[in-house]
Amino acid sequence: MSSQELHATTPRAAARGAVTPPEEHRRRRLQIALGVIVACQLMVIIDATIVNIALARIQSGLHFSASSLAWVQSAYSLAFGGLLLLGGRAGDAFGRLRLFIGGLALFTLASLAAGLAPTAGALVAARAVQGVGAALAAPASLALLATTFTDGPERQRALGVFSMIAGLGLTLGLVLGGLLTTASWRWVFVINVPVGIAVIALARPFLTETPRHPARFDIAGAIVSTAGMTSLVYGFLRAASDGWSDGLTVVTLAAGVVLLLGFLRIEARAEQPIMPLRLFAERLRAGAFTNMLLMSAAMGSFFFFLSIFLQKVLDLSPLRAGLAFLPMALVQFGGARTAPKLVARFGPKTVTAVGTASALVSAVWLTRLDGASSYPGGVVGPLILLGLGIGLAFMPLNMVILAGLPPRDTGSASGLLQCLQQIGLAVGIAVLTTVYGTSLRASADHPDADLTPQAQLHHELAHGIATSFFVLVAFVAVAFVVAVLVFKNRRPTAAGA
């Protein structure tokens, strides 16, 4: 034995935690693999919010009407959320790495097409294709994380990073959108191209293909669920402009409910459903799914309406409006980094309850916004509290949903998890828009004669936004109750075990 080998095996070397070259190589490969997975997740999550601050420039550049502009956001969210469950099932059937690379390639090409779009119709079509690519890649990314990191502590750390990116991505999208829009709105899409190429190049060398599970695709379930959610969201948005008594509003809302009930019936009878109902057999996991939907609804509507407040009431430029979310991003980053240690010490129930309580205080504070509110006095505090709440709440939810699942269900569970995030974003904005629109109509019918036209506009917008945030309070309050009454400080068992 050489002196170097003898030194490596001495108690002193062992006490220093010496790492052998093979172990160091394995750790480096895992770090790169995690970087590839979270980079993909960051891209698809950021695209849900990065266009918010760029919409005004997009409208003038491609001559969108006020009503058709919403499709720039809706086309992506509906395609992404509507096909996520099918994307998760496809990963189980064809191999998750194959779906990860294929979906990311489609997403990258569509991003380039969106950045070069010459017309409004071309941009909307490219956004829809982006959503399809994201629906294929996103569930595969989380499933690959679960199969790549098999050791308990390593998986928990990886989930912590993944959850941090998933939650932070929505906030970073607003900040990045403000920065890129200053140069050109097209950069909010083109930025995906070099990142996508790099991730695709690294995926196959550092990620391992998963076994295939023979499957029959639940096409009926995918179509009915997507149609149901689209109908429901459209009904809420129409109620905002035409009122609850409008005939088409009532019909589309009723159709959405009927279609979603039909979807549950299809899933109960399907041989291989895209959303196995056994995923909800564990009470703790069902509670985590519920809170993922509620917190996503709260977060999406918060970003949407606070962006309007910053630009329309406080008159901030796109760059300053994007940077205004930076305090939230920093606190959210710190909370997400701390969450894995807190979960290990106190359990998922305690951490989730504290996170939702912080978000609840933020939501209540936001209901006090008015035309005289300032950024330091009325916005920074809620931003910090919500950032802390999101940073703490999302990691335990991801951990609880994936813990104890058999391999055949990890793809479906990850697809459902991210589907609920996208559905929450769409439904949250739609419901708050209904309240917002009703408030604006009421304010316009009773103007204040003592206010200038500009001050009156600021008053109406601020009052409408503050009123809509009462719905935000309701979303987070229910999430807090679920965290307190349903969650336990333990991991769930395998579904059906």
What percent of the chain clears pLDDT 70, i.e. is strictly above it?
85
Sign of the Cα torsion 151, 156, 161, 163 reads positive
Residue with tokens 């999550």: 45
State the virtual CA torsion across 422, 423, 426, 430 in degrees, nearest 10: -160
Question: Which of the residue ranges 206-215, 227-236, 300-309, 455-464 would you say has the lowest mean pLDDT?
Answer: 206-215
6 lies in some domain: no
Reading the block at residue 81, the tokens are: 């959320």
Question: Cβ(221)–Cβ(275) under 8 Å?
Answer: yes
For the chain, percent of residues with pLDDT exceeding 90: 18
- Residue 453's pLDDT is 67
In a domain, 327, yes or no: yes
Q: Exposed, middle or buried by CB within 10 Å (0-12, 13-18, 19+), for 452?
A: exposed
Domain boundary among 234, 269, 304: 269
What range does the domain containing 224 cover? 219-269
Distances (CA, A) of 43 to 17, 36, 241, 247: 36, 11, 33, 39
Residue 232 domain-assigned (yes or no): yes
Residue 405 Ramachandran class (φ > 0 left, ψ -120 to 50 alpha, else beta):
beta
47 lies in a domain?
Answer: yes
Residue 244 lies in a domain: yes
Do 100 and 249 lie in a common domain?
no
Query: What are φ and ψ of residue 17, in 5° steps?
Result: 70, 35
pLDDT score, position 497 = 34
The confidence band for 450, taking pLDDT boundaries of 50, 70 and 90, is: low
Mean pLDDT over each residue of the chain, to the nearest integer: 80
Q: Is the pLDDT of residue 6 over 50?
A: no
Confidence band of 106 (pLDDT split at 50, 70, 90): very high
Reported as a single tens digit per residue, the pLDDT across 367-390 is 998 888 889 988 999 999 998 998
Same domain, 144 and 226: no
User: In whole angstroms, what is the distance from residue 73 CA to residue 49 CA?
Assistant: 8
pLDDT at position 446:
66
Shared domain for 183 and 231, answered yes or no, is no
What pLDDT does residue 18 have? 53
Residue 81 confidence (pLDDT) = 79
Q: How far, in Å, are 145, 149, 255 from residue 154 at the CA level?
A: 10, 6, 45
Q: What DSSP state is assigned to residue 310? A: I
pLDDT at position 496 is 36
Query: What's 365's domain CATH number?
Result: 1.20.1250.20
pLDDT at 493 over 70: no
Give 170-193 pLDDT, tens digit per residue: 677 878 888 888 888 899 999 999
Indicate whether 195 and 257 sit together in one domain.
Answer: no
Residue count (the chain)? 497
Question: 463 and 381, same structural domain?
Answer: yes
* Residues 434 and 399: beta-carbon distance below 8 Å: no
In the structure, what pLDDT confidence band is assigned to residue 364 with cuts at 50, 70 and 90? very high
272, burial (CB in 10 Å: exposed 0-12, middle 13-18, buried 19+): middle
For the chain, what is the total number of helices (H) and then of strands (E)? 19, 0
Q: Are 55 and 115 in a shared domain?
A: yes
pLDDT score recorded for residue 478: 95
**Cα–Cα distance between 342 and 351 in angstroms, integer?**
7
pLDDT at 7: 46
Smallest CA-to-CA distance from 485 within 353, 362, 396, 390 is with 353
On whether residue 491 sits in a domain, the answer given is no
Within this chain, do residues 158 and 41 fall inside the same structural domain, yes or no?
yes
Question: Taking 90 as the threshold, does the pLDDT of residue 236 lie above it?
Answer: no
**Do 261 and 237 reside in the same domain of the chain?**
yes
**Helices (DSSP H) in 95-119: which residue ranges?**
96-115
The C-alpha angle 92, 83, 256, rounded to 5 degrees, equals: 130
Contact at 8 Å (CB) between 380 and 314?
Answer: no
Statement to judge: residues 257 and 232 lie in one domain: yes
Indicate the angle between helix axes 380-402 and 152-183, nearest 10 degrees: 140
- 92 and 66 in a common domain: yes
Concatenating the DSSP letter of every residue in 451-475 gives: S-HHHHHHHHHHHHHHHHHHHHHHH
Residue of 293, 319, 71 lying closest to 174 (CA atoms):
319
Residue 496, phi-psi category: left (phi > 0), alpha (psi -120 to 50), beta (remainder): left
Shared domain check, 320 and 251: no
Q: Which DSSP category does 312 fall into?
A: I
Q: What pLDDT, on the 0 to 100 scale, is given for residue 202?
A: 87
The torsion angles phi and psi of 216, rounded to 5 degrees, stand at -105, 130
Instruction: Let me know if residue 229 belongs to a domain.
Output: yes
134 contacts 415 by C-beta, under 8 angstroms:
no
Nearest to 129 by CA among 79, 65, 56, 71: 79
pLDDT of 472 above 60: yes
Structural domain includes residue 492: no
Tokens of 471: 């719905």
The tally of domains found in the chain comes to 2
Q: How buried is residue 133: exposed, middle or buried, by Cβ count under 10 Å (0-12/13-18/19+)? A: buried
Residues 242 and 360 in one domain: no
Calculate mean pLDDT across residues 434-462. 73
